[in-house]
Amino acid sequence: MASTPIIVSPSGSVPPARGDSARPDADLLEGLNPQQREAVVYRGPALLIVAGAGSGKTRVLTHRIASLLRGREAWPSQILAITFTNKAAGEMRERVAQLVGNASQGMWISTFHSACVRILRREAEQFGFTKSFTIYDSGDSRALIKRLVKEHEADAFGHSPASVQSRISKLKNELEDAESFARQANMSDPAERVFVEVFGDYQRALRKANAFDFDDLIGQTVYLFRAFPHVADVYRRRFRHILVDEYQDTNAAQYALIHELTRPVQGQAPEPFEQGGMMIFEPEPQGGEQLPGASLTVVGDSDQSIYAFRGADIRNISEFERDFPGAKVVLLEQNYRSTQNILDAANAVIRNNFDRKDKKLWTDAGAGAKIVGFTGYSQHDEAQFVAEEVEALHRAGLAYSDMAVFYRTNSQSRALEEIFIRSAVPYRIMGGTRFYERAEIKDALAYLTAVANPLDDMAVRRILNRPRRGIGDVTESAIARYADSEGISFRDALANASALGVGPKLQAAIAQLDAVLAEASEVMLPATGELASPTAVADGLAMLLEKSGYRQALRASKDPQDEARLENLDEMVAVAREFARNNPEGTVVDFLAEVALVADSDDLDDEAGQVSLMTLHTAKGLEYEAVFVTGVEEDLIPHRISANEPGGPAEERRLFYVGVTRARKRLHLSLAMTRAQFGEISVAMPSRFLQEIPAELIDWRQSPGDVNGRGGTQSRALNARGQRSGSGNWNSRLRHDDPPALKPRSTSLEKFPNRIPAKVRDNGDMVLAAGDRIRHEDFGEGRVDAVTGEGAKRVAHVRFDTAGAKKLLIKIAPIEKL
């Protein structure tokens, strides 16, 4: 992203704040409650805002920034605001812009990771990297680690690539590097020695490839600041106000980064200087040699800490006052999002986490609707309920985009998706197999990386035989050996195909690849001084895909999935064009960095009228009118694996709490009595969290007791809607100490097999018109009211005799014409 130069007053000094008489920020305080105001106007070295869910923290944060600017207490360029997702950053930038106009342009509002990329990009040459370094995402580093584990035969010592990867990641999050770890490792343990070797090799490989992995982005920035204090001082002088959102999710490395940035600066301020296209003028040190540390504002809620598994340390927030003596603490407990019933449920659940500061959310919005509970016989039954409920809410006037469905694990989305497709409910899945993780997209990016950062061996090796060029392991090793012996990179070795001692066919294939990459370099990396055309990245990518034969191979393939892959590649080129529009001066390197750092939760576009499906983790920070939390079962939430992890169950409870508190008006909690996992159907039990919610808050459409009691012979779809069973006290029957009551007889299990046929049917050619009668596998007979849409997306609006009105996607609905 290109930074806009901000010219500040030549004196470089900050204008004094005006007196209280006519606060320039008076309008910023309107409509805020006293605690929120306090959080906006407090001035001091350190401020902790403990913000319960829905308590308006983004509002407070943005108003605080605006107030600093309005009062002329800070220049935009002196503000650094850090969030965890790009989406949150974008939202914050937008809201600040609404308050202060384009003064917001000069601020850094970004994620930890992108802020560090920006810093590293400027300083990379200080410590042996080049400006065009690339970023390894977890897939890339897994591939590299896999290779190293194999090389070292580390699996013989019980090291799987996954375990090595997570261990390295954990160490890096603790700011431990390969050397420091080696020094204190128990080297008499052979397993430990092997791990040290793999770790060391991994780090050396990264350095050689001129690449950072995700964790390095933070860790290496801290290292940079510590090893080169004069570099750190530049940023300490620049950023006078640092604000961190979701502070409870910071890990040790991020914590250290914040600490480094907020240290006082010793010595004289240097002359104003220019760097990276940005003018930075320093304020004079206030009356002395030493410039005090930047003021730090952190916002967080320890009840929403859900990332301990990736190193987040809740102590960062709970011990903030100890870390920053004299810190001011402001508590925001009034909730502006949810109804009291929803908050009561949330409070009741989170209360069971013992070592927490008591905090109670409240609202004056009224009790609102009761929470709706539903127990399905199977996950499909549960999904059917969700789909029907979504439709009912939609008919009642709620937009699809105001509804969301949450689940604990990505694999749960499948059942929901199948039913949603069949019911023609528009939906959108966030996360899961992300676009950027698809093989063809990773290939396309590897092509770009090979051009942008020729030192990145992993990227070059990845595309070596994609599309198939007849280059296999043997040839790859030959190239690697040659590169090693000549002391050149893998990429450069390709230019010497004839020296590799491989057959003529292979030589030609390698030379061809080399030529394509070279040609693309000329398009995308013009000689220094010359500016690449804004569309260079997109053009270069299109060219690479065409001339490498990649697209041709897909076009020629008879695998039906390859058509979709081609479309994905088109989409990728479109993304590159979009990037060029937004960043006219962006280079391939910038493009790759942006792509590496986007998460799927970032490209939520709200205008689309679609129900959002996502994991509970992805849901953090979002809110919806109506929320469905699905799969509220033991072993799912809390997840089975969490049981043995220290702090695991408590973290799961927070995760559930996060899900519940996303809802504004309506909350649905659902579960299934049986769930298919890896082909086996297993019995599920209601989550303990359900029992922590007072019974009177839940209106069970179908309680676990109902399902269990009736033995479950009827399919949900054939039941009349709205079967009330009251909030019967099913607890007594479903306590954890007597689960046997739940054990279904095998015969009843067979009545709820996976109701979705394994193979998706194709009714594509079925001709239906208003007035036709049809029979549906689940809903029975009905009459077609209308047919809308075209081609594969034709939808039949059917009024069923017993099941009511439904919309069906004709192509795949289990229907026959009568």
- Side chain identity at 793, as an amino acid letter? K
Q: Are 283 and 277 in contact (CB under 8 A)?
A: no
At its nearest, how many Å lie between DNA and the CB of residue 201?
Answer: 18
Q: 3-state DSSP call for residue 93?
A: helix
Show the tokens assigned to 638: 């809390």
Question: By CB under 7 A, which span of 90-98, 108-116, 265-273, 735-743 interacts with DNA?
Answer: 108-116
Q: Token digits for 28?
A: 């910023």
12 contacts DNA (rule: CB under 7 A)? no
Q: Which is nearer to DNA, 473 or 790 (CB)?
A: 473
51 among annotated binding-site residues: yes
Instruction: Return phi, psi of residue 465, to 5°.
Output: -120, 30
Mask: binding to DNA, 318-337, rule CB under 7 A, as x and -? --------------------
According to CB under 7 A, which one of 46, 60, 78, 84 is a site residue for DNA?
84
Q: Report d(CA 455, CA 208) in Å as an integer.
A: 7
- Judged by beta carbon, residue 155 or residue 321, the one nearer DNA is 155
Sequence-ordered list of residues with C-beta below 8 angstroms from that of 198, at least 6 positions apart, any chain: 145, 148, 149, 152, 154, 159, 164
Is 57 annotated to bind a ligand? Reply is yes
Stretch that binds DNA, among 61-69, 90-98, 407-415, 810-818 (CB under 7 A): 407-415
Please, which residues have CB within 8 angstroms of residue 703's CB and are 6 or more apart in sequence?
373, 375, 725, 727, 728, 730
Q: What is the DSSP string of 337-372?
A: SS-HHHHHHHHHHHTT-SSS-----B-SS---SPEE
Nearer to DNA, 597 or 787 (CB): 597
Angle at 808 (CA atoms; ends 805, 812), nearest 5 degrees: 155
Near DNA by CB under 7 A: residue from 25, 140, 600, 635: 600
Q: Which of 409, 552, 682, 729 binds DNA (CB under 7 A)?
A: 409
Q: Is 758 in the site for DNA (CB under 7 A)?
A: yes
Angle at 462 between CA 460 and CA 464, to 5 degrees: 65
DSSP state of 4: P
Of 428 and 665, nearer to DNA (C-beta) is 428
Q: What is the CA radius of gyration of the chain?
A: 29
- Residue whose CB is less far from DNA, 75 or 420: 420
Q: Does 435 bind DNA (CB under 7 A)?
A: no
Measured distance CA(45)–CA(622) in Å, rounded: 30
Q: Is 54 annotated as a binding residue?
A: yes
| 548 assigned ligand-binding residue | no
Residues carrying an active site annotation: 57-58, 245-246, 304, 662
| 752 within 8 A of 381, measured Cβ to Cβ | yes
CA distance 242 to 223: 20
Least Å from the CB of residue 468 to DNA:
4
Q: Is 255 in the site for DNA (CB under 7 A)?
A: no
Q: Using CB under 7 A, pick the residue from 167, 617, 751, 797 that binds DNA.
A: 617
Nearer to DNA, 280 or 471 (CB): 471
Quote the tokens at residue 680.
């086996």
Each residue 495-524 as x (binds DNA by CB under 7 A) or -, in order, gives -----------x------------------
Binding mask 212-251 for DNA (x = CB under 7 A): --x-------------------------------------
Number of Cβ within 10 Å of residue 185's Cβ equals 14
Token look-up 């106000």 returns 241
Length of the chain in terms of residues written: 818
Among the residue ranges 220-228, 295-303, 614-622, 727-735, the one whose residues contact DNA (CB under 7 A)? 614-622
C-alpha distance across the termini of the chain, in Å: 59
d(CA 739, CA 633): 13
* Part in contact with DNA (CB under 7 A); list of ranges 35-43, 305-313, 486-494, 765-773: 305-313
Alpha carbon distance 625, 632 (integer Å): 20
Say if residue 493 carries a ligand binding annotation: no
Q: Does 112 bind DNA (CB under 7 A)?
A: yes
Binding flags for DNA, 119-148, as an x/- string (CB under 7 A): ------------------xx-------x--
- Cα Dmax for the chain: 90
> Which DSSP symbol is given to 452?
H
Does the footprint of DNA cover residue 111 (CB under 7 A)?
yes
Tokens representing residue 747 in the block: 């015969």
For DNA, which is the closer residue by CB, 532 or 554? 554
Per CB under 7 A, which of residues 460..489 are in contact with DNA?
465, 468-475
Based on CB atoms, which residue is closest to DNA, 410 or 691? 410
Q: Identify residues 659-698 at the interface with DNA (CB under 7 A).
A: 677-679
Beta-ladder partners of 241? 79, 295
Residues that bind DNA (CB under 7 A): 84-85, 111-113, 137-138, 146, 162, 214, 306, 309-310, 408-411, 431, 465, 468-475, 506, 597, 599-601, 614-615, 617-618, 639, 641-642, 645, 677-679, 758
Q: Which residue ranges are tagged as binding site for ATP?
A: 51-58
